[in-house]
């Protein structure tokens, strides 16, 4: 067992991104199902406040945001690579498209044809609380909640562009999958996974064939794990993971200083702890919780704010 623990839920698109990468790299991992909506007491015990899915755990090191998870997985398991050196800039370009594609995709699932499946998947006790939960998720950040008007203007043009490119090669950047494919796949999966709206991809023959190839990669070798077992793993762990990138203290802050870290786009709940590392790639803070002991919580540097804690 590699020690990788993914906190996720079945219907989460960004969780599917990481599950599919596990499949491509054929990795063993432990699967901890976290609630789709707040409260998430076990997850927050690990993260200190970050609530979005997925969260990746390795011992007492906790990784937030899939961008940082991608870097970690390529560092720990470099073959096959997600970002081959000769395609790094192309993968970066696709990464800049990810959130736009996500915001153009999600509103389609909340139209009447897709809503029925979501209600069945999430359960009757969850759906009445879903709208209020997502309203809170998008409060205080720079991004507005995905809306039908944006989706109507962007959904078909974006996926038509992908379909056109996939007419030439099996994967977006050639003969083998790269990060570009996983960035786009989890969004396409969110449509194809929902039988009420899957037919909206009928015009895109090449994209549907590509999505089937991506689905066939599988999810690696997951084994179930309870959230309490994951907390116990953090509590008993004594080995820390190496930090990502050389030290570059941010905005006048110093190592050992108490800081607050939060996303700037959405899901902006602050996490407070002691700054133990900062680079152009990540910010890491040490914090303590009675249920986990001492943990190191890692965030991407991009789109996250670091400030002195009050």
Non-local (6+) Cβ contacts of 246 within 8 A are: 279
pLDDT at residue 2 above 80?
A: no
Give the pLDDT band of residue 245 (cuts 50, 70, 90): very high
Residues above pLDDT 90, as percent of the chain: 85
The predicted model gives 202-210 an average pLDDT of 97
Residues above pLDDT 70, as percent of the chain: 99
Q: Which residues of 214-242 are buried (b: 16+ CB within 10 A; e: fewer)?
A: bbebebbebeebebeebbebbeebeebbe
Asked if 229 and 33 count as a contact pair (C-beta separation under 8 A), the reply is: no
The per-residue pLDDT for range 127-139, each reduced to its tens digit, is 778 878 888 899 9
Structure tokens at 259: 């800081």
In 187-266, the DSSP E strands lie at 221-224, 258-263
What is the edge-to-edge ordering of all strands in the sheet holding 4-8? 221-224, 28-33, 4-8, 55-58, 61-64, 293-300, 282-289, 271-278, 258-263, 304-308
**For the chain, give me the number of helices (H) and strands (E)?**
10, 10
Closest by CA position to 70, among listed 279, 300, 262, 306: 300
What confidence score (pLDDT) does residue 115 get?
84
What confidence score (pLDDT) does residue 129 get?
85
pLDDT at residue 62 above 50?
A: yes
The per-residue pLDDT for range 107-120, each reduced to its tens digit, is 998 888 888 888 88
Name all domains of the chain by residue range, CATH numbers in brackets. 4-79+222-308 (3.40.30.110), 85-215 (1.20.1050.10)
Mean pLDDT score across all residues of the chain:
94
Q: Assign 112 to helix, strand or coil.
A: helix
- The Cβ of residue 188 has, within 10 Å, a number of other Cβ atoms equal to 24
The predicted model gives 189-216 an average pLDDT of 96
Asked if 52 and 14 count as a contact pair (C-beta separation under 8 A), the reply is: yes
The predicted model gives 168-192 an average pLDDT of 98
Sign of CA dihedral 84, 90, 95, 101: negative
The predicted model gives 180-202 an average pLDDT of 96
What confidence score (pLDDT) does residue 1 get?
38
The per-residue pLDDT for range 68-104, each reduced to its tens digit, is 999 999 999 999 999 999 999 999 999 999 999 999 9
Q: How far is CA 299 from the centre of its chain?
A: 12
């Amino acid at each position: 067992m590699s020690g990788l623990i993914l906190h996720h839920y079945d219907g989460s698109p960004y969780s599917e991104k990481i599950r599919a990468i596990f499949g491509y790299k054929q990795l063993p991992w432990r699967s901890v199902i976290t609630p789709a909506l707040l409260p998430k007491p076990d997850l927050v015990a690990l993260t200190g406040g970050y609530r979005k899915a997925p969260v990746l755990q390795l011992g007492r090191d906790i990784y937030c945001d899939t961008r940082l998870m991608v870097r970690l997985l390529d560092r720990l398991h470099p073959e096959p690579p997600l970002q081959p050196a000769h395609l790094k800039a192309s993968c970066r370009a696709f990464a800049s498209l990810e959130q736009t594609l996500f915001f153009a995709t999600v509103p389609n699932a909340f139209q009447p044809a897709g809503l029925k499946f979501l209600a069945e998947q999430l359960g009757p006790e969850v759906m009445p609380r879903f709208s209020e939960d997502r309203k809170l998720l998008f409060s205080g950040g720079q991004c507005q909640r995905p809306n039908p008007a944006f989706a109507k203007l962007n959904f078909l043009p974006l996926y038509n562009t992908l379909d056109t490119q996939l007419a030439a090669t099996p994967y977006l950047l050639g003969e083998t999958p790269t990060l570009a494919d996983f960035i786009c796949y989890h969004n396409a999966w969110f449509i194809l996974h929902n039988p009420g709206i899957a037919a909206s991809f009928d015009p895109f023959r090449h994209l549907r064939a590509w999505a089937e190839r991506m689905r066939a990669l599988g999810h690696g070798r997951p084994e179930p794990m309870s959230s309490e077992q994951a907390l116990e793993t953090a509590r008993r762990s004594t080995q820390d993971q190496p930090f990502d990138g050389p030290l570059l203290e941010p905005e006048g802050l110093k190592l050992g200083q108490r800081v607050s870290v939060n996303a700037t786009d959405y899901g902006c709940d602050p996490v407070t702890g002691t700054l133990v590392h900062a680079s152009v790639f990540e910010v890491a803070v040490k914090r303590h919780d009675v249920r986990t002991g001492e943990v190191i919580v890692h965030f991407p540097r991009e789109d996250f704010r670091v400030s002195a804690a009050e």
